[in-house]
Amino acid sequence: MYGLIRENQLDIMLLLCGACASIALLLLMTRFLSESRRKILLMMELMAILLLWSDRQAYIWAGQPGYTAYVMVRLSNFLVFFMTSAVVLGFNLYLRDWMLNEGGMTKPPLRLLLVHCIALTGMAVAFISAFTGLYYYFDENNLYQRGHGFLIAYIFPVLGPLIQYTLIRQYKRIFGRLVYISLVLYLFVPIVCGILQIFYYGISIANMSMVLVSISLYLFTYLDINDTVEWVHKVELKHMREENSSARTLAEQISGAYAGMLEKQEQLSSGSTVRTAGYARMIAEAAGKNERECDEIYFAALLYRAGEEQLSEVKEYPGILTAARYGFEEYDGSGAPEHLEKDAIPEIARIIAVARHYDELTSSTPKRGPFPRFIVREEFIKAAGIQYDPRFSAIMVSLIEGDGEYTLQEGGGKLTLKEREKSLECGPYRETVSLGILLEENITRVRFHCVERNDAPSGFSAPSLILYDSYDGIVHRDEEMIKAFGYTEFGELWFDGRFVSTHARAMEVKSEPDRDRGVFTPESREHSAEILCARYEDHIRLRIRYKGLITEAVAALPDSSRYTYIGLTGEYCRLNGIEVEQTGERVKEGDIPRIAEKNTYLNRMEGDLPNLQIDGLRTKTTRGILLEEQLKLAFHSMSLPSAILVRHCPYVVLFSSENGETEGEGYEEYALIRLNGETLKTSVDAVNQIEVTKHSDHQNWDSWLKANKQGTECGLEAYRRGNRIIIRAFDEGIEFTNTTTFREVPGKLYIALTGERCALTDIRLL
């Protein structure tokens, strides 16, 4: 490196002088700096050029004969030493300008005055040296030689910068990050290079570095100002956004207040309009609308009930008027006022129709609470292409699936019994019933205190419970709600052992004295109660301790596919301090005595794979079938009597694992496809795309469900096509083709059948 620089240093010097001159030219045109700052930087660049140009001339004329060479060697060497201290003085003026302006000082620090004195002294000594030979002298060949006081020349350009650094360090806060870096480089790079130059005689790395840092000073200043401008721009944008946000918030509040007034007039549930507007925005965002379009849809959903006349003057968002005119059209043409169909209905009105109906389903009415999530999802699947635009209906389904906690509803989520009810006031029998407590294999303990009331007309005051199944976990009495929520009552049980069996297949109850609880005092009107309850497959068991009795009850449900809840109730009593907890203990086969044979729907011939009754969601699965180039299957499917949703059907699973079993070691699932045409799973390693065809014999989803309950023949084909797996299947007028595209196809892929609330029989490999 030393040899390379020495060999080419004259060219390097010339190049650096040109670069520095370019910076000086830029400074003449610069407008982003103050006048004083610009003049100081221009002076520093010119001094750096003069310093390096003089050094270059000293090398060029050294050893040359003649009067011109004699003068140029002495003049250039003098300028080198003189300008070295002058550069320190120029940098001092630069720091002074920062201190007085950005630093806000009224007068510069004394250390700057000290550096001024040091720099001026250095310049004076350089002048004296030119006549005395203190720093250097020239021999008879006109060659430069170091003098006996040569090292003194380093005192001034080193001492001054060290003092300047103490100031830069102390007042670091007034410099930007980039400016601070440039200042430190400006001070120390020449010092380090100067020290190296003592040992590497014959090259001028110190002066070349001085020019380099002079160039960097301008560049870093420019970058710092650029950062400042960008920061100011961001601040301005932030203020603008805050102002816009405030204006938007005000508009939302005014619109929301107006919408609230309309809700009272039309007897809608409180907050319905704001919720609908929020759902409409979510649909619009998922559909890829920009921010302005989403705002327009939001405000249109807030105000579309206000009528065209009231909104005729709204010009900013014309979609609001469009929504007011067509907001009650239906996709099949059954709406009003013009009975438009499909895409003839403006898109904004089609989005609002989906959002409005979602809010209706998930809000409470005087007769019912919000529908469960899977019922709402079912509604949008069934009504897609009939009542709603299928595109926006599908988006709503995906939003429902992504709402794991069911927060997208009135109140933001359903409360559990433990959160909602700590006590229950019971009058006439079943006038008040608690929210249901779900029975599972995990044993649940329920505790409370029952206080008997004195106002019972018949003198009877006691707690009881109801065994039932319902989509929303609530006991229903209204016929419309019973149908809507699939309410089925299995029986009633009093704490003294009396019971009524309704839709349970069998029920056995026995009571005996509770010898572990001590002496029972019948005259007391307050008694503690404890219920231990659990379920295994199609049987449930309850163990009740109350009033000195232990009552054991076992009930056989219609089948294993149903949910089972208990609802606390009673007659003319108060249930206080209700607590519900999971014990952590689980029941297993044999823990609950079987009082009825298990209902089976597998009484058909068996094919190449064992028959399968799937009571709950994927509770059973066939073994995996290796997919090589092609695979064909046929089987008989029958939905169980409790199946009431379109999702209660067979599923196809595409997966890989080490042993070919689902959930086996190394299990990875790439597609889960319902035979109603829904793809439910996409692995990070694969993407699924499904095409669904409804044939002419598919009348509607209700008829499809009915046909599946009676039993239907299904078929399935799977093919490998490079990095794609194509699966085709049909079920009662529904045919689909699902393409799974892999980044990298696994070595072995398997197909398996599963489902929910269905029986698969006569499974044949073709």
The more confidently predicted of residues 226 and 373 is: 373
pLDDT at position 415 is 40
Nearest in space to 685 (alpha carbons), one of 659, 667, 660, 673: 667
The reported pLDDT for the residue numbered 247 is 45
- CA–CA separation, 532 and 726 (whole Å): 50
Bridge partners for 610 per DSSP: none
Q: Within 13 Å, how many C-alpha atoms sit on residue 440's CB side?
A: 12
Q: What is the mean pLDDT of residues 273-296?
A: 87
Mean pLDDT of all residues in 285-298: 86
Tell me which of 18 and 608 has the higher pLDDT: 608
Mean per-residue pLDDT, 351-380: 82
Domains, the chain, in order of start with CATH, read 2-230 (1.20.1070.10), 268-412 (1.10.3210.10), 417-586 (2.60.120), 612-765 (2.60.120)
- Specify the range with the lowest mean pLDDT, choosing from 21-25, 45-49, 400-404, 673-677: 400-404
Report helix, strand and coil shares of the chain as percent, to nearest 5.
Answer: 45, 25, 35
22-36, 126-140, 602-616: lowest mean pLDDT where?
Answer: 22-36
The single residue listed with the structure tokens 């058909």 is 604
Sign of CA dihedral 258, 260, 262, 264: negative
Distance between CA atoms of 452 and 570, rounded to whole angstroms? 10
Q: How confident is the model at residue 225 (pLDDT cuts 50, 70, 90)?
A: low
Cβ–Cβ < 8 Å for 725, 748: no
**Cis? peptide before 610, omega within 30° of 0:** no
**Secondary structure (3-state) at 414:** coil
**Phi, psi dihedral angles at 688 (to 5 degrees):** -110, 140
Q: How much is the average pLDDT of 10-26?
A: 80
Contact 641, 724 (CB under 8 A): no
From 12, 18, 20, 80, select the one nearest 45 (Cα to Cα).
Answer: 20
Q: What is the pLDDT of residue 616?
A: 85
Q: What average pLDDT does range 591-603 have in this prediction? A: 90
Contact 416, 434 (CB under 8 A): no
What are the tens digits of pLDDT across the range 313-334? Answer: 555 566 777 777 777 888 888 8
pLDDT tens-digit map of 582-593 = 998 999 988 999
CA distances to 150, 240, 535, 760 from 142, in Å:
18, 70, 111, 109
Q: What is d(CA 357, CA 375) in angstroms, rounded to the nearest whole number?
A: 13
Residues in the chain: 766
**Does the pLDDT at position 535 exceed 80?**
yes
Count of other CB atoms within 10 angstroms of residue 535: 24
Q: What is the pLDDT of residue 598?
A: 85
On whether the CB atoms of residues 689 and 741 are closer than 8 A, the answer is: yes
Mean pLDDT across the chain: 82
Handedness of CA 300, 302, 305, 306 (dihedral sign): negative
Per-residue model confidence as pLDDT tens digits over 172-194: 877 777 777 877 887 787 777 77
Question: How do residues 407-465 score in pLDDT, each as one tens digit?
Answer: 666 655 544 444 457 889 999 888 899 988 999 999 999 999 999 888 888 778 889 99
List b or e across 407-420, with b for residues whose CB sees 16 or more CB atoms inside 10 angstroms.
ebbbeeebeebeee
Burial of 341 (0-12, 13-18, 19+ CB in 10 A): middle
Who has greater pLDDT, 92 or 260?
92
Nearest to 95 by CA among 9, 196, 27, 174: 174
- CA–CA separation, 489 and 509 (whole Å): 17
The Cα 403–Cα 380 span in angstroms is 15
Give 52-71 pLDDT, tens digit per residue.
888 888 888 888 888 888 88
| Confidence class for position 255, pLDDT limits 50, 70, 90 | low
For residue 364, the model assigns a pLDDT of 75
- Checking if the pLDDT of 243 tops 80, the result is no
548 touches 577 (CB < 8 A): no
The pLDDT of 671-677, averaged and rounded, is: 89
pLDDT of residue 239: 55
Q: Say whether 43 sits in a helix, a strand or coil.
A: helix
Beta strand 712-721 with 686-694: parallel, antiparallel or unpaired?
A: unpaired
> What is the spatial distance between Cα 446 and Cα 457, in angstroms, rounded to a whole number?
28
For residue 196, how many C-alpha atoms fall within 13 Å in the half-sphere facing its CB? 14
Query: What is the distance between the alpha carbons of residues 592 and 575, in angstroms, rounded to a whole number?
Result: 28
Instruction: Identify the H or E element spanning 412.
Output: none
Could you tell me the CA-to-CA distances from 409 to 284, 412, 475 in Å, in that order?
18, 5, 20
Instruction: Give the strand pairing for 442-452 and 526-536.
Output: antiparallel
More confident residue, 390 or 631: 631
Tokens of 545: 């301790």
- Report the alpha-carbon distance of residue 249 to residue 242 in Å, rounded: 10
Q: Which one is predicted more confidently, 227 or 370?
A: 370
- Cβ-contact 194, 206 below 8 angstroms: yes
| Residues 486-529 pLDDT 10s | 889 999 999 989 999 999 999 999 999 887 765 566 677 888 99
Beta bridge partners of 672: 653
Residue 310: band (very low, low, confident or very high) from pLDDT cuts 50, 70, 90: low
Beta-sheet pairing, 565-571 with 462-469: antiparallel
